[in-house]
Amino acid sequence: MTKVSKQPLGAANNPLALLRIETVAALVGLGHTTIYRKIKAGEFPEPIRMGARCTRWRAGEVTAWLSEKGETQ
């Protein structure tokens, strides 16, 4: 079995970095299900589909979403 290492939260400092769902959830403070529900509602950045079981988010889009939420609340 292949061991998958966790992605450091510091990866979000590179706007072109591709973030895993676990990293995105930790950054925004939402669960996986809530993130996907917000995507479906058009309220969260769309992920990049890299394969049948591989989805990533651009760090710049996630951090921009966070900044926008901070400004509107």
Q: Is 16 in contact with 60 (CB distance < 8 Å)?
A: yes
Q: What is the pTM of this model?
A: 0.85
40-67 mean pLDDT: 96
71 vs 39: which has the higher pLDDT:
39
Tell me what the pLDDT averaged over the chain comes to.
Answer: 90
Q: What is the distance between the alpha carbons of residues 26 and 71, in angstroms, rounded to a whole number?
A: 20
pLDDT(47) > 70 = yes
Copy the structure tokens of residue 3.
């061991």
Copy the structure tokens of residue 42.
């058009």
Could you tell me what percent of the chain has a pLDDT over 90? Answer: 75
Domain-by-domain residue ranges, the chain? 17-72
Please name the fold of domain 17-72. Arc Repressor Mutant, subunit A (1.10.10)
**pLDDT for the residue 5:** 65
How many Cβ atoms are within 10 Å of 28's Cβ, its own excluded? 18
pLDDT(48) > 70 = yes
